[in-house]
Amino acid sequence: MADRQLAKLILEDGTEFSGWSFGAGKNISGEVVFNTGMVGYPETLTDPSYLGQILVCTYPLIGNYGVPGNQKENDLLKYFESCKIQIQGLIVSEYSEHYSHWNASLSLSEWMMAENIPGISGIDTRKLTKKLRLQGTMPGKIITDESTLIDFDDPNRRNLASEAGVRSPVRYDKPGKRVVLSTAV
């Protein structure tokens, strides 16, 4: 990365991890959680169950196959769990700046910039995951600009189900035929 910017993950208990920013260069706060999946980061990042969370990927290399386009199948997005990135931020050990996959339309960092989501690479995700396993998930902050202060935010104090869920039912009658009763989130 040509213009690498330093970034920090600060946990509510005062623990700090330093790394390099990718995606959007902004400060955010959320609950720090981890995922042990080896593939499927586009699906994971768009999963509404991660709303309000800073996601730590335990797999050591993320971004190597880029991000697919918004193709639909049976009126549903084919490669995503929802229509936007749901996480607050992403923490990885090593970010692959150069992707290679026949289905990729952009890099992970480009996608995250477009959706205003920050990420940090160069973090010891094994050490961080061990801490979260022993002490439990906790609020944390991604800091890319130390001149701007933000508070810790615990998304569990909000009604996340109402934020992530559909506003009213959506009915699918037959494969490929969707009857819209309302718009999904």
Architecture of domain 6-158: 3-Layer(bba) Sandwich (3.50)
Q: Is the pTM of this model over 0.75?
A: yes
Give strand ranges (E) for the chain: 6-11, 16-23, 28-35, 53-57, 61-62, 67-68, 72-73, 76-77, 89-91, 94-95, 104-106, 118-121, 138-143, 171-174, 177-179
How confident is the model over 89-104, as pLDDT tens digits? 999 999 999 999 999 9
Listed as ranges, residues in the chain with pLDDT below 50 are 1
pLDDT in tens, 48-66: 999 999 999 999 999 999 9
